[in-house]
Amino acid sequence: MQTRACILRYIGSMIVLGIETSCDETAAAIVRDDDTGAGKIVSNVVLSQLDDHRAFGGVVPEIAARAHLEHLDAIVARALDEAGLDLAEIDGIAATAGPGLIGGVHVGTITGKAIASARGLPFVAVNHLEAHALTARLTNDLAFPYLLLLVSGGHCQLLAVEALGQYTLLGTTIDDAIGEAFDKTAKLLGLGFPGGPAVQEAAAHGDPKRFSLPRPLKGREGCDFSFSGLKTAVRQAALKLDDPAPRQDIHDLAAGFQAAVCDTVADRCRNAFDLFAQAHDGDPPALVAAGGVAANLALRETLETICVARGVALVVPPPALCTDNAAMVAWAGLERLRAGITSPMDFRPRPRWPLAELSAAE
Ligand code: KG4
Ligand code: ZN
């Protein structure tokens, strides 16, 4: 076993165990690369805590942290088991160290550090957003630079991904995150939790043109986002519906909301193409959509349309790799280890850790 690990290092291949606990998924995965640098997911285990939080209509941080603590060891063991690997065959441990719900982040980083120190392996504290940002390099072997639309429960940003650890923020939300807007709309319309998939499902049966809803910041300069005005407009429209609201009305309102979000995102992305082109003397080779909301099918169609019009490739990882998972964490760790970057054992988990503040040295 030892010999094999040494040979893998020598030819430039690595096997990394990743741990993700920053929100309500307890996840562990093993990812490796080959001697060409291409990545491969060897195992990818995700335990969703949805049922633990459903009754509260959202993620309860204390419940999430306790559930991570209860399940993480078994999830790591399963990831190794499904990969048919022993810890002796692993070259490094990567764990999400922020941003996220800090109780859960502590559970993941302490577990990662413990395995690393017990086995004498390098430890990498992974920024959760960087993990989303680099997923397309794992799934599509994409080269730097590219444009990134990061759309999740806690974030909505457009960034130029220049290199590992080098991210230029082009725009961000000035109020709600996009996933938060989906989740709040779902709650308002009585569609349940988690909101994004529920709104998508309801919207599939609705008429997006029936309700006239605002497109916040559309037509304005820059790439910032705003969703609170849209959320208020949905609430006002919902208050005018009969009680109980007919199903078709709910479906139409969900479809109207989703269409307004897609329109706004398309407008912001077109501006981001221009900003990227100015800074790089040419269009981005690709637009990557990452984060949980990138699983939204209507958003994918919208992005496809604007990318085709601009001649830019669209890269969207498969839905299971858009939502939170540990394969992306293992991959981000692998990219850092490959660049010779490790984290100290006293690395402190961070509830807030903006991508634009990251560096390739940390
Ligand atoms: O990236 P993620 O799994 O967790 C965070 O790091 O935030 O994103 C979760 C968010 C939630 O707000 C969820 O409602 C949203 O992604 N989401 C979707 C869809 N699937 C998940 N939003 C819209 N349409 C979907 N199909
Ligand atoms: Zn995420």
Q: Is the pLDDT of residue 30 over 80?
A: yes
DSSP bridge partners of 43: 30
pLDDT reported for residue 10: 36
Q: Which two tokens stand for residue 186?
A: 């779902």
Residue 320 Cα to ligand 2 middle (Å): 11
Residues with CB under 6 Å of ligand 1 are 23, 152-154, 179, 182-183, 194-197, 200, 291-293, 295-296, 323-324
List phi, psi (to 5°) of 294.
-65, -10
- 281 sits in the region (left: phi over 0; alpha: psi -120 to 50; else beta) called left
Choosing from 184, 293, 300, 302 the residue with most ligand 1 atoms within 8 A of its CB, the one to mutate for a pocket test is 293
Q: How confident is the model at residue 356 (pLDDT cuts 50, 70, 90)?
A: confident
Instruction: Using a pLDDT cut of 90, give the percent of the chain over it.
Output: 86
pLDDT tens for 175-214 read: 999 999 999 999 999 998 889 999 999 999 999 999 999 9
Which ligand 1 atom is the nearest neighbour of the CA of 323? 3
Residue 85 Cα to ligand 1 middle (Å): 31
Task: Provide mean pLDDT across the span 39-65.
Answer: 87
pLDDT tens for 224-273 read: 999 999 999 999 999 999 999 999 999 999 999 999 999 999 999 999 99
Alpha-carbon distance 81 to 95, whole Å?
A: 19
Residue 6 Cα to ligand 2 middle (Å): 33
Alpha-carbon distance 167 to 171, whole Å?
A: 12
Task: Provide mean pLDDT across the span 284-288.
Answer: 97
Give 3-state DSSP helix, strand, coil % of the chain, rounded to 5: 50, 20, 35
Residue 95 Cα to ligand 2 middle (Å): 13
Residue 54 Cα to ligand 1 middle (Å): 15
Q: Whose CA is nearest to atom 14 of ligand 1?
A: 196
Lowest mean pLDDT among 59-68, 224-233, 266-275, 328-337: 59-68
Say whether domain 2-137+321-357 belongs to CATH 3.30.420.40: yes
Instruction: Decide whether 2-137+321-357 matches 144-319 in CATH topology.
Output: yes
Choosing from 323, 325, 352, 355 the residue with most ligand 1 atoms within 8 A of its CB, the one to mutate for a pocket test is 323
Tell me the pTM: 0.92
Residue 102 Cα to ligand 2 middle (Å): 14
Task: Give the Cβ contact number of residue 60 at 10 Å.
Answer: 17
Residue 175 Cα to ligand 1 middle (Å): 17
Q: Which ligand is nearest to the CA of 53?
A: 1
Strands 156-163 and 92-98: unpaired
More confident residue, 288 or 7: 288
Q: Which ligand is nearest to the CA of 23?
A: 1
pLDDT reported for residue 315: 97
CATH code for the part of the protein at 144-319 = 3.30.420.40
Instruction: Using a pLDDT cut of 70, give the percent of the chain over it.
Output: 96
In the chain, where are the structural domains located? 2-137+321-357, 144-319
DSSP state of 218: T
Choosing from 20, 47, 126, 182 the residue with most ligand 1 atoms within 8 A of its CB, the one to mutate for a pocket test is 182
Q: 59 and 51 in contact (C-beta within 8 Å)?
A: no
Which ligand 1 atom is the nearest neighbour of the CA of 291? 1
pLDDT tens for 143-155 read: 999 999 999 988 8
Residue type, 37: G
Choosing from 148, 152, 302 the residue with most ligand 1 atoms within 8 A of its CB, the one to mutate for a pocket test is 152
Residue 291 Cα to ligand 2 middle (Å): 5
